[in-house]
Structure 1
Amino acid sequence: MIPVTIDDIRAAHLRIADAVVRTPTLHSRTLSELTGAEVFLKFENLQFTAAYKERGALNTLLLMPEAQRAKGVIAASAGNHAQALAYHGRRLGIPVTIVMPTPTPSVKVTQTEGHGARVVLHGERFDDAFAHACAVIVREGQTLVHPFDDANVIAGAGTVALEMLEDHPEIDTLIVPIGGGGLLSGMAIAARALKPGMLVVGAQADLYPSMYCHVKGEDLPSSGDTIAEGIAVKEPGKITSAIIAELVDDIVLTPERDIERAVSLLVQIEKTVVEGAGAAGLAAMLTHPERFAGRNVGLVLCGGNIDPHLLANVLVRDLARMGRIARIRISLQDRPGAMAAVTHLFHEAGVNILEIHHQRIFNRLPAKGTAIEIECEARDAAQIDRLTERLHAAEFELSRVELD
């Protein structure tokens, strides 16, 4: 039996309404043209802590009796759940302890502490942190607030779908990022109650296909360094697994390249910053365009907490894949004027030089030769192609450094 009902979700919506942002759901004309579907975006990255996790965390805290609140709550998390619980715990005067793996980036530790939580660093992985959190509970008596495998957390997450379908009842498809399954579970419960024929699909990073394997009975590895760390979950929840198996139509996998592309598109087109997990729904549309063509698709931008340096890398890599940034390796004689001849050709082609790297020692050229790599920027890939034609015509030996 599913432990959460549409009435639970409606009650949660009323309960949290005065403290959680009712984020907009907006139609994206450009993404619709790009994907061949009508795309509606739910901007949960506009919450105060920049993620939907506030909904489930707050709903859970508000349902606790006073005696339980006084003892405090605890969670194992290195991400959005930690900040959501810390923020609303401080608002409500509830002591919050967050156990994070030791390698957690310092910025996440600082942000969580900034919301008033006590942060304990323990172990190398989430499993280690979770085990330690359970040990602290035995010793200190706090209440565990699970990031996804909890009925009250799921009910809070379901309020996202409630708002989307109130704002745009024409939506006939939901594509929801999935890690542990809390958001997808809650949204699926709401969707099935409000619009039973709706297509509900989970979008999971192909490096961490844990729920995909659970539902489809497959055995794929769950490991790797994904940009969608918010949904990089090796073990899906027990409650969420049962709900998803019953209510969700399908789970699709999407590769890192498409997740990076989705993050970049949302910055370029919607002028909004979204973390890898939050862009997984759009990435699924890029990976499987034929599956969603012609449909009215609702996507949840479930979080915007991405490291600025990582975001910069993603944006530049996307420019490289589009051919607007290139790196060209050129062999030439190490003598006066050689570099000037090369840069003159860049000038003639109207291509801007960003960086030049010399390699005189570690190459296979003769002692009087040198290798240079020039990173450059152009209007489009065609302009780079015209540049390489000029270089070949001038009899320079060259090759392009390709990005996978």
Structure 2
Amino acid sequence: MDELGLPEKLAADVEGGQCFRPPSTLCKGGELLDRILARGGKYSEEDAKAVMVQILRVTAYCHLQGVVHRDLKPENFLFISKDEHSLLKAIDFGLSDYVKPDERLNDIVGSAYYVAPEVLHRSYGTEADMWSIGVIAYILLCGSRPFWARTESGIFRAVLKADPSFDEAPWPSLSTEAVDFVKRLLNKDYRKRLTASQALTALGAVAKTLTITELGYVRDQFVSLGPNKSGFIFMQNFKSALLKNCTEAVKDSRVLDFVHMVSSLQYKKMDFEEFGAAAISIHQLEAMENWEQLARRAYELFEKDGNRPIMIEELASELGLSPSIPVHVVLQDWIRHADGKLSFLGFVRLLHGASSRAFQKS
């Protein structure tokens, strides 16, 4: 750990929404909070997006290393210069900690206005940082806090019980995408909250429906793995990158065992489209207000790219369904009777990764 409590592997000075070590760079642009106050508390959607992308990038980087910041707020982001489009630096990792994928932290730390509900319940992980980012996004767009009270205990009660208001100006005039983005970060159920990577992006055909901007972070991660001139990455790329950048938390998990286990697939290659498909969570996408439109567009692409006739037995085998399950009853609505091709209903359910266990419960 360095003098700020930041793990040494993360303490390097990296521009463009990465981690900040004070001795190496003097940030002359002041705090994000000062910029917010100077603007009278309101950012345009485009300006807010530029800020959020940088905040999400550094957060995604930290979370990938198993580090949760635990005190994200506008005061802890500094601009390098006074330029209007200056890059941001994240600071003050004094409260940060490592958290394993299957581990929950239980100490209440952070700033009251930005603390997540699960922190107050003393059981949280990296999702708590995403709540804090949701509070920052809310402030950027409307100039006021989503939860407010005169006392700290009052703030905590509001965080636990109250819902942020999206009825007053400027919310009705903002895009549905902006409102939906903030709502998905301020979801009191941390399991349904966006992760940093998902917030920066939004499964084969579904990935094609997203814009270049929405896939920007996934593209950055793909490029960092060193694709060859033909645009492919190989299993060895994953192994080398992971071994080079892994933290103690990763070493303690099963990730390295998995990499060694599949390293025999050294000739298996993956292009950006496949990489993007693997990086996007369908469960998070379906929480978006425009999910049905995304799914419809994805299905249209699926139809165009080769939705061929398929036998129910073939589909059942692909899903790994037990012979004891009456597959004809379960899957009959998945396939169109007219041409034997996968229906829209079947396509959507297939995206969820159907399993025999799921069928047994239904």
Q: TM-score range by the shorter chain?
A: under 0.3
Give the TM-score taking structure 1 as reference length. 0.24
For the pair shown, which has the larger CA radius of gyration, 1 or 2? 1
Give the TM-score taking structure 2 as reference length. 0.26
Greater share of strand residues, 1 or 2?
Answer: 1
